[in-house]
Amino acid sequence: MAVGLGSNLGDRRRILAAAIAGLAAFGEVVAVSPLYETAPLGGPDQGPYLNAVAVLDTPLEPRRLLEGMLALEGRMGRERRERWGPRTLDLDLLVYGDRVVEEPGLTVPHPRLAGRRFVLAPLADVWPGLRLPDGRAVADLLQAVAGQEATRIGGDRWWDPSDPLALLEAPPPEVSPEEAAVFAAACFGVRGEARVLEGERDRNFGIDGPDGRFVLKVANPASDPGVLDLQQAALEHLAGADPALGAPRAVRARDGGRIGWAEHDGVRRGVLLQTFLDGDRLPDGRSTARSRTALGALLARLDLALAGLEHPAVERADPWDLTRLEALRPHTGHLPDGRRAVVEEEIDRFTAITLPALAGSRRRVIHADGNPANLVTAPGDPDAVTGIVDFGDVMAAPLPAEVAIAAAYQCLGQPATDVVIGGLVAAYGRLLPLLPEEAAVVPGLVAARLAQSLIMSAWRASLHPDNAPYLLIHAGPVWEALLRVRALPPGWIPEVR
C-alpha cells in the first residue's frame, strides 16, 4: 500500500523523515519517493508544502492502519484547527493494493488522488506500474495533470534512515503497562505487573513479580537493532569483566537472543529486558565532594571494564555524540532568542578549538551519559553513587568525553563549576588518569554538552509537545550552568593528579 506525506510547518524535511521512521512501526517501508514542493490548495494564507509518498508492506487492515497514522500525526504535533489549514504532518492512505474501501471516514483509493500532481508524481516514482483498482494507470493520470506545478527537490535518500537524528524525531511507541507485561512474559518468560518509567526515546517499564524485578525497554521504532544488541552486549561484557560493578544484568530472550521481538497490533517491536538495579536515583542538582569522588571512581571503573568490548555498533553516528555538535546548528532556531546567539557561539568555539584538540585523546568505549537520571545511590545516602543504568548511548568516543558529560550535569545548580569539574576529573584520574592534553579539553567538552542539551531539549519539545515538560525540565539550570562554565578563566584546565 502507499501513504502520502505532507508538511508545511517547522523543519519540513526532518518532520517527514521522522514520519517515515514512524511508519516503520506499521510494517516494512519498501520505498520512499523524492520530495516535491507545491503551493497549498485552498485554506488560509500559508507556506508551501513538502510532499512525498512511501510504499509500505503491512499486516494491518486499512482501518487499523489509518488509526495508527492518525495517532502518529498527533504525536508529531498535528493539530486539527481549521480545514485546509497549516499542518505539521499530514498522512493519507492513498492505495491499499487492489482493495476498494468505502467506510465512514475512510475511502481507498484516496478520493482526490487522481487530480493532484503532487501526489501522483511521487507515487509514480515509487510505484511506476501501478494501476488503480478501476484499471486506470497512475502514469496516465499523471499525464493528465501535467500543467499543475510540483517541484521535485529531494534526492532519492533525503530520508536516509542512517541519519542519527531520525531516532530523536520519531515518537516513542504507544504501549500500555498491560501490554508491556505481556511482552515480558511472551519474550522472556518473566511474569509480573508493569509500571511506567521515564524515558527519552523508548517506552520503559518496571516489571515486578514472582520472578524478580526487571526493567523492560520497548524500543523506538526508529532504533537500529544493532544498537539494541550493543546495549545488552555491553552489560554481558561488564558482568564478565567486573561482576561487582553496579550495573544491571542483561536477560536473554526465550529464543536465546539478546533482543526480544513482540508482535503488537501487527507491528514487530524490539524489546530488551534487564535486571532492576536497587537504590535511589541521584537527586537533580546534588553535587558534593563526596558524591563527585564516588561518581568519578564509578565512571573510571566502568570504562576500564568496557575495555575490550568489541561490537560493530560502537562505531556509529549517534545523535548525542559530542563530536557531532556542529550537526545540531540547524536546530538552534528552536531556542529562545536570548539563548540562541550564545549557543551558536559555543558551537563555533567547539568547532574551531575543542574539536581539533581532541585529536590527542585516546578513543575508548564509554557509557557516554552519566546524568543523574542514570545514576543510582545507596538508599538514604545520596552522596554514595553506587551504580549506573541505561546503556543506550554506549559508543566509541574520545575518553575525556566520559568525565566531561558527567561533569556537565554535576554543574547544574553549582556556583563553583571549577571545583565541580576539577573534583570529578581528579576522582576519575585516581583509577584512570587523563593525559594532560585530555584534561585540557574537558572544560570545552562540558560547555559543548550543555549547549547540546539545550538544543536537543528545545528541538525535541517542538516535535513532541506532549512530552515537552519532561524534555525541558532542566533547560533553566542547564542554561545557567553554561554561562558559569563560559565564565571560567581563559585557559583554565583541571589539575591532573
Active site residues: 78, 87, 90, 92
C-alpha cell belonging to residue 336? 529562545
C-alpha cell belonging to residue 403? 568525565
Strand 212-218 relative to strand 151-152: parallel, antiparallel, unpaired? Answer: unpaired
Q: State the amino acid at position 116 in one-letter form.
A: R
Dihedrals phi, psi of 469, to nearest 5 degrees: -60, -40
Dihedrals phi, psi of 160, to nearest 5 degrees: -35, 115
Q: 3-class SS at 321?
A: coil
Instruction: List, as one string, the DSSP characters of 460-490.
Output: HHHH-GGGHHHHTTTHHHHHHHHHHHHTSPT
Residues 202 and 270: their CA atoms lie apart, in Å, by 10
Residues 97 and 95: their CA atoms lie apart, in Å, by 6
Q: What sign does the dihedral 188-190-195-198 (CA atoms) show? A: negative
| DSSP structural state of residue 41 | -
Residues 149 and 64: their CA atoms lie apart, in Å, by 33
Return the beta strands (E) in 165-278 as ranges: 193-197, 203-209, 212-218, 250-251, 260-264, 267-275
Residues 473 and 373: their CA atoms lie apart, in Å, by 12
Residues 242 and 138: their CA atoms lie apart, in Å, by 62
Contact 172/220 with Cβ under 8 angstroms?
yes
Residues 183 and 258: their CA atoms lie apart, in Å, by 14
What is the dihedral angle through the alpha carbons of 17, 464, 84, 331, rounded to the nearest 10 degrees?
A: -60
Alpha carbon 284 to its chain's center: 22
Q: 3-class SS at 29?
A: strand
